[in-house]
A and B are shown apart, each in its own frame.
Chain A
Amino acid sequence: MRVEVDTDRCCGAGMCALTAPAVFDQDEQAGTVLLLTPEPVASEFAAVREAAQLCPAAAITVEESS
């Protein structure tokens, strides 16, 4: 799995950091998304998919590798 974030779209609602804290954090100043690990471990896949789905600004894209 590969994850990408678009900080321009991010509205700082924090759903990503709440849902998959091992993969996403928020910038201390701006509050926008910080991607901690673009290639998360398999145990995080479900949480990452949910975070991408919950993100209100569609700022997270997940590419599932086959």
Chain B
Amino acid sequence: MTISLPNALPTTRPTGCPFDPPAELGRLRETEPVARMRYPDGHLGWVVTGHALARQILADPRFSSRGELRHVPIDVDRFKGKALPPVPRGMFIQMDPPEHTHYRRLLTGQFTVRRMNQLIPRIEQIAEEHLDAMARKGPPAELVHDYALAIPSLVICELLGVPYAERAVFHERTKLMLNLERGDEEVMAAFGEIMAYLGELIERKRAEPADDLLSGLVTGGELDHEELVSFALLLLTAGHETTANMLALGAFALLENPDQLKAFTGDPELVEPAVEELLRYLTITHFGLQRIALEDVEIAGIAIAKGECLQLHTPAANRDPAKFPHPDQLDLGRHASGHLAFGHGVHQCLGQQLARVEMRIGYRKLFQRFPTLRLAVPADEVPMRTKMGIYGVHSLPVTWES
């Protein structure tokens, strides 16, 4: 048997193409869309790079999301020689139905298309306030700090009922937790601090419930303390790092594709397809998603044994030419629906409609307000997040004619 990836999942992006997935994975998709991969802990599993196959596996209940069955796909000191910690109760992204269904159902009503559309005026206001502040200070600006991280953080804080003034606690800790180069002790300490903060926040909500999502969950009485903390952690971390990186990386991608940017600013109708295309093209889940076979399964003529892990590389799958012609071109006019940027199957991102609204407003307002926006450093000096679970830029220095 040939092992196509003998060590681990590659994470480095091709030189000069910061938006493209690792080149090895693109090549693998052409020859072997389901390939053998040796995980760093010795586990012999798989990597899937084809779009149709990844989608099929994500929708198939014979493949599990259970955290305790996983194997870490990337070669990182922090995970070496250690068993994965048990999954906390309520951490439903690492659970299967029916537990997953039970937990997720407590939230689905909060994230409907209609509810998210009701947030539009408030999100527009938040975006405008930050752009005003950028304009007042004058060029240059650092787009991650001044805009991209601020919008989703404020929105998720308001939605959950987390005091925005306390954001430093979770901004810094989640960033550290997502950083693969940090040591285990440091990460566990940050995790402990975040959990302590959230535990205390939930106690505050219990004492003084307000009109927010966390208060609703606390007073709803369906979740105990441990489950509430898991929910708060999930929503808070999923709600800011992801959209923030889409906003900043998307702005970078548009600046690097001036013809696309011109089309975008010239045509208000393009906002919705543009967001889908940026989601497809950038797919910021750096390593993709993981599933584990619960039984022996045959996929595309290949026998997958019970217990084997499959790394579904969604960034590579979203560049599958069989699904998206000329996949390596950013083409805002294309119909990119069906991409896997939010996953697929019962775990498909719960906050995706919120993310869409934030991105539509975020990109539109930014380029409306600063039509001459450009990078303030050469593109190859923009620090990329290659060592983070969520891909993007660490910072994006920009400038404009004032």
Contacts and interface: CB of A to CB of B under 8 A. Distances in A.
Nearest to B109: A31
B112 A14 contact: yes
Given A11-B104, A13-B352, A14-B353, A31 B346 contact: no
Contacts of B112: 12, 14, 17, 26-28, 31
Given A14-B353, A17-B113, A26-B114, A31 B108 contact: yes
Contact of A32 (B59, B108, B338): B108
Given A30-B105, A58-B59, A14 B346 contact: no
Contacts of A56: 58-59, 343-346, 348
Contact of A12 (B111, B343, B356): B111
Most buried by B among A14, A50, A57: A14
A53 B52 CA distance: 12
B398 interface: no
Contacts of A32: 105, 108
A65 interface: no
- Interface centre among A12, A29, A30, A53, by most chain B C-beta atoms within 10 angstroms, is A12
Contacts of B337: 19, 50, 54
B104 to A, nearest CB: 6
Main secondary structure of the interface of A (DSSP, over half): loop
Contact of B108 (A12, A50, A54): A12
B111 A57 contact: no
B109 A12 contact: yes
A36 interface: no
A31 B116 CA distance: 12
Nearest to A53: B338
Contacts of B348: 11, 13, 15, 56-57
Contacts of B169: none
Nearest to B335: A50
Given A14-B353, A30-B108, 18 more contacts: A11-B101, A11-B346, A12-B104, A12-B350, A13-B350, A14-B112, A14-B113, A18-B356, A26-B112, A26-B113, A28-B112, A31-B108, A50-B337, A54-B337, A54-B338, A56-B343, A56-B348, A57-B346
Interface of A: 11-15, 17-19, 21, 25-32, 50, 53-54, 56-58
CB-CB nearest 9 A-B residue pairs: A12-B108, A31-B108, A56-B348, A31-B109, A26-B112, A17-B113, A14-B113, A11-B346, A13-B348
